Amino acid sequence: MIKAKKLSKGDTIGIISPASASFHRSDVLRAQEMLESMGFNVLLGRHVNETKGFFAASEEHRVRDFNDMFYNDAVDAVFVTQGGYGSAQILGKIDYEAIRANPKIFTGFSDITSIHLAIYRRAGVMTFHGPGMTRFTTEDLTEYTRKQFFKAISTPEPLGEIELADKRKWLYSIAPGACEGELVGGNLTLVCATLGTPYEIDTRGKILFLEEVDSEPWVMDHCLSHLRNAGKLADLAGIVIGECNNCDPRIFDPGYYSDTDIEDVFNYYFADLGVPVLYGLPLGHTEDTATIPMGARARLDADEKKLVVLESGVV
């Protein structure tokens, strides 16, 4: 995997909105102020938060901002404002050759999973599953999230163990064992959406990372069934699952009674795969979230309840 240069104070961070617009217009300005107070230069994309329907701007304007940041030699890292919806629309228009020739730190999560997987397949460049720019405010940026983020993108040393943010929380070892492999994946819904496309996730010999938010267990069962039918749960090295926030059954009269817990769904699909499976790390839609380099080699030990990233994400 190709790695970008580490981020240092004085470097320039380019800001883009490849998916949805920020609900509060001030979010981008507040985050810009915080990043600048940390010693970074901030360059806003020309079409950030224009708003067009569900999206931050038209397809053409969103992908233009994306490609321009990789064309611009003055830009050292590319942060998204947030996820939301719409990243998949621009995948066919991204200049992957430019990304390969000019590797830069690229961060985001949730809907940005689509772009992580596309860059992995088409450019072979390591990207970062971590917070969007609008998390960078005095109200929303926890110390754990800040520390883990800059450790991942600013240190050319192995990232090491992804530790719990809250020591009171418990990790669930769904299946025992230990393995090593590259980390691939992201948001479950978006991972499924790559199937049948040129950006389809390759899980062979990999540690599959999944996370989800605001999704009922039966919906997640549907997604996991789809992954299994597509052969993506075969030949895995292991599975690591982030905290799945608000993924409980809801009362909305779906036409049948359902009280199945998400742990039941994970056990159904993962317990008998013969690979280690660990659930509950602070990865994804959580108040405290760790940043991990996608494509990095890692060691998953479900017996010791540890995920250790064995290499750096930057040089």
Please state which CATH class domain 160-309 belongs to: alpha beta
Q: Give the CA dihedral 211, 214, 219, 221, nearest 10 degrees.
A: 40
* Contacts (Cβ under 8 Å, ≥6 apart) of 281: 162, 164, 171, 240, 241, 242, 243, 290, 307
User: What whole-number distance in Å separates Cα of residue 148 and Cα of residue 86?
Assistant: 27
Angle among Cα 70, 71, 75 to the nearest 5 degrees reads: 60
Q: What is the pLDDT of residue 246?
A: 85
Protein fold of 12-141: Rossmann fold (3.40.50)
Which of 20, 253, 292 shows the shortest CA–CA distance to 160?
292
- Token pair, residue 131, equals 């917070």
User: What whole-number distance in Å separates Cα of residue 10 and Cα of residue 40?
Assistant: 5
Which of 194, 30, 27 shows the shortest CA–CA distance to 111?
194
User: Which residues lie across from 292 on neighbouring strands?
Assistant: 129
Least confident of 21-30, 32-41, 249-258, 264-273: 249-258
In this predicted structure, the answer to whether residue 153 has a pLDDT above a threshold of 90 is yes
* pLDDT tens-digit series, residues 257-272: 566 889 999 999 999 9
In this predicted structure, the answer to whether residue 180 has a pLDDT above a threshold of 90 is yes
Which of 296, 289, 264, 266 shows the shortest CA–CA distance to 278?
266
Q: What is the pLDDT of residue 302?
A: 98
User: What whole-number distance in Å separates Cα of residue 273 and Cα of residue 261?
Assistant: 20
In this predicted structure, the answer to whether residue 94 has a pLDDT above a threshold of 70 is yes
Q: Where in the chain is the domain with CATH 3.50.30.60?
A: 160-309
Q: What is the pLDDT of residue 53?
A: 81
In this predicted structure, the answer to whether residue 45 has a pLDDT above a threshold of 60 is yes
Q: Give the CA dihedral 26, 12, 123, 88, nearest 10 degrees.
A: 10
pTM of the model: 0.95
Mean pLDDT of 201-215: 96
Q: What is the pLDDT of residue 77?
A: 98
* pLDDT tens-digit series, residues 53-92: 889 899 999 999 999 999 999 999 999 999 999 999 999 9
Percent of the chain with pLDDT over 70: 97
Cβ(49)–Cβ(28) below 8 Å: yes
Catalytic residues: 110, 211, 285
- Token pair, residue 68, equals 């321009």
Cβ(240)–Cβ(278) below 8 Å: yes
Q: What is the mean pLDDT of the chain?
A: 94
Q: Give the CA dihedral 19, 25, 28, 30, nearest 10 degrees.
A: -150
Q: Give the CA dihedral 53, 59, 61, 66, nearest 10 degrees.
A: 120
> Which position has the higher pLDDT, 28 or 271?
271
Q: Where in the chain is the domain with CATH 3.40.50.10740?
A: 12-141
In this predicted structure, the answer to whether residue 114 has a pLDDT above a threshold of 70 is yes
Q: What is the pLDDT of residue 137?
A: 87
Share in percent of the chain as helix, strand, coil (round to 5)? 30, 25, 50
* pLDDT tens-digit series, residues 222-266: 999 999 999 999 999 999 999 998 888 776 555 555 668 899 999
Mean pLDDT of 279-293: 96
User: Which residues lie across from 79 on neighbouring strands?
Assistant: 15, 107
> Residue written as tokens 């052969």?
231
Say which DSSP state 166 is in: S
Cβ(134)–Cβ(22) below 8 Å: yes
Say which DSSP state 279 is in: E
